[in-house]
Amino acid sequence: MTTRIIGTGSAVPNQIVTNDDLSKIVETSDEWIRTRTGIRERRIASAQSGTTALAIEAARKALENAHVAPEELDIIILGTSSADCCFPSGACEVQGAIGAVNAVAFDLSAACSGFVFALNTVHSFIKAGIYKTGLVIGADTLSKLIDWTDRSTCVLFGDAAGAAVVRAEEQGIIHLEMGADGSRGNVLECGGRTTGNFLTGQKPELGYMSMEGQEVFKFAVKTVPETINRLLEESQTSKDDIKYFILHQANYRICESISKRMKISMDRIPTNLENYGNTSGASIPLLLDEMNRAGMLSRGDKLVMAGFGGGLTWGATLIEW
Ligand code: COA
């Protein structure tokens, strides 16, 4: 028994922010952003809406796509690093909103690897025979954690949610890989939320995201190919048998560099980051949902999904669609 994805859904905010829009608030240009990252525009959540609202919309669409009723769900995991509040978790808010009365629900924090980690975690419960039907969500509104005066980070990210309904079946996840390196966490970090102090009377303040861009770039182009190669080797799968490599959508140049290193043509590495930027935990399920709804996936296709990001964390999953 393994875990099969039987439906997908996604949600993005209505507000489009183009590179030209950003050039009005920081010293940057459409040309710089496009040539360094491939991003043209991103979606930004309104002040009234956040990660939970997007996650709920993506979850509803995934359930509809899978023809699964909320009551059938046994488990909901939301991969996010920008939950609207510390508690209740975003996953519990989704569970309440959709009426998944029989599901346990919790968030998982692995930054941009969040969806892959959440999928692999739900799979472990299914493989162990504990649960049958799950909802895996990746959702982030990093726009709310960005310093909008810092041009080195604010041009990169966007808000979105993506979801997949999974079920215990014979065909589905074939193999998985996950890793973490906490000793290098400082290259991509976001200041603490627990900064209040009883003795000094200090109130909690939200910290902003900071990043050493080139270090993160080097980490991604080295670790992702290594992880995918290990995944393929351990599952005795040839890379030629993989129809698509669905990589975390951080930067077009990262995808290109992985394509060169792995000798995989870019037509097998689909991208949509030009429209959404880096949507963190949402990027892989958002792309997967677009591909699913565009009819690009057929039963039996082998796909690799690979995420990487803050922590540092990385993970990959080989599935049969
Ligand atoms: N617009 C214009 N100039 C900018 C800029 C912006 N938005 N951001 C940085 N610059 C400037 C820098 O200040 C620097 O100027 P200097 O040479 O005068 O010092 C110059 O552009 C080059 O900066 P650098 O950081 O060396 O650029 P880069 O080629 O490494 O590209 C990134 C920067 C962030 C696009 C790239 O490092 C990257 O994509 N890293 C990975 C980031 C990522 O994906 N993070 C999330 C992972 S989950």
The single-letter DSSP state of residue 236 is: T
Mean pLDDT of 185-192: 89
pLDDT of residue 274: 98
% residues pLDDT > 70 (the chain): 100
pLDDT of residue 195: 77
Q: Which residue has the tokens 């956040």?
A: 50
**How far is Cα 76 from Cα 92, in angstroms, rounded to an integer?**
8
Residue type, 148: W
What is the 3-state secondary structure of 239-255? HHHCCEEEECCCCHHHH
- Active-site pick, 19, 92, 175, 248: 248
Q: In sequence order, what are the residues at sequence separation of 6 or more whose Cβ sits closer than 8 angstroms to the Cβ of residue 259? A: 265, 266, 269
The question of whether 123 is a catalytic residue gets the answer: no
Task: Give residue 72's pLDDT band: very low, low, confident or very high (50, 70, 90).
Answer: very high
pLDDT of residue 281: 98
**How far is Cα 164 from Cα 65, in angstroms, rounded to an integer?**
9
Strand order in the sheet with 160-169: 2-11, 160-169, 133-140, 75-79, 104-108
Q: Is 32 helix (H, G, I), strand (E, B) or coil?
A: helix
Centre of ligand 1 from the C-alpha of residue 27, in Å: 12
Cα angle for residues 230, 177, 312 (degrees, 5° grid): 105
Decide: 125 and 105 in contact? Cβ < 8 Å: no
Q: Is 315 helix (H, G, I), strand (E, B) or coil?
A: strand
**How far is Cα 278 from Cα 20, in angstroms, rounded to an integer?**
17
The question of whether 67 is a catalytic residue gets the answer: no
pLDDT of residue 157: 97
Centre of ligand 1 from the C-alpha of residue 230, in Å: 30
pLDDT of residue 193: 73
Q: What is the pTM of this model?
A: 0.96
Strand partners, 139: 161
Q: What is the dihedral of CA 58, 59, 64, 65, to 10 degrees?
A: 60
Q: Which residues of 254-272 are buried (b: 16+ CB within 10 A; e: fewer)?
A: bbebbbeebebeeebbbbe
Residue 29 has pLDDT above 90, yes or no: yes
What is the 3-state secondary structure of 91-131? HHHHHHHHCCCCCEEEEECCHHHHHHHHHHHHHHHHHCCCC
- Measuring from atom 3 of ligand 1, which residue has the nearest CA? 28
Q: What is the mean pLDDT of the chain?
A: 96
- Check residues 192 and 139 and name the one with the higher pLDDT: 139
Residue 52 has pLDDT above 80, yes or no: yes
Mean pLDDT of 248-263: 98
pLDDT of residue 191: 82
Decide: 278 and 251 in contact? Cβ < 8 Å: yes
Residue 153 has pLDDT above 80, yes or no: yes
Q: Report the chain's C-alpha Rg in angstroms.
A: 19
What is the 3-state secondary structure of 170-225? CCCEEEEEEEECHHHHHHEEECCCCCCCCCCCCCCCCCCEEECHHHHHHHHHHHHH
Residue 38 has pLDDT above 90, yes or no: yes
Tens digit of pLDDT for each residue in 200-220? Answer: 888 777 788 999 999 999 999
Task: Give residue 128's pLDDT band: very low, low, confident or very high (50, 70, 90).
Answer: very high
Task: Give residue 245's pLDDT band: very low, low, confident or very high (50, 70, 90).
Answer: very high
- Active-site pick, 19, 65, 278, 292: 278
Q: Which residue has the tokens 């049958």?
A: 132
Residue 34 has pLDDT above 90, yes or no: yes
Q: What is the dihedral of CA 17, 18, 22, 28, to 10 degrees?
A: 160
Decide: 9 and 62 in contact? Cβ < 8 Å: yes
Distance of CA 202 to the CA centre of its chain: 34
Mean pLDDT of 33-52: 97
Task: Give residue 94's pLDDT band: very low, low, confident or very high (50, 70, 90).
Answer: very high
Residue 258's nearest CA partner among 228, 302, 303, 297 is 228
Mean pLDDT of 63-69: 98
**How far is Cα 125 from Cα 258, in angstroms, rounded to an integer?**
31
Q: Find the residues whose C-beta lies inside 6 A of ligand 1.
A: 28, 32, 36-37, 112, 151-152, 155, 211, 213-214, 216-217, 250-251, 278, 309
Tens digit of pLDDT for each residue in 221-238? Answer: 999 999 999 999 999 999
| Number of Cβ within a 10 Å radius of residue 169 | 16
pLDDT of residue 205: 78
Looking at the CA of residue 112, tell me the nearest atom of ligand 1: 48
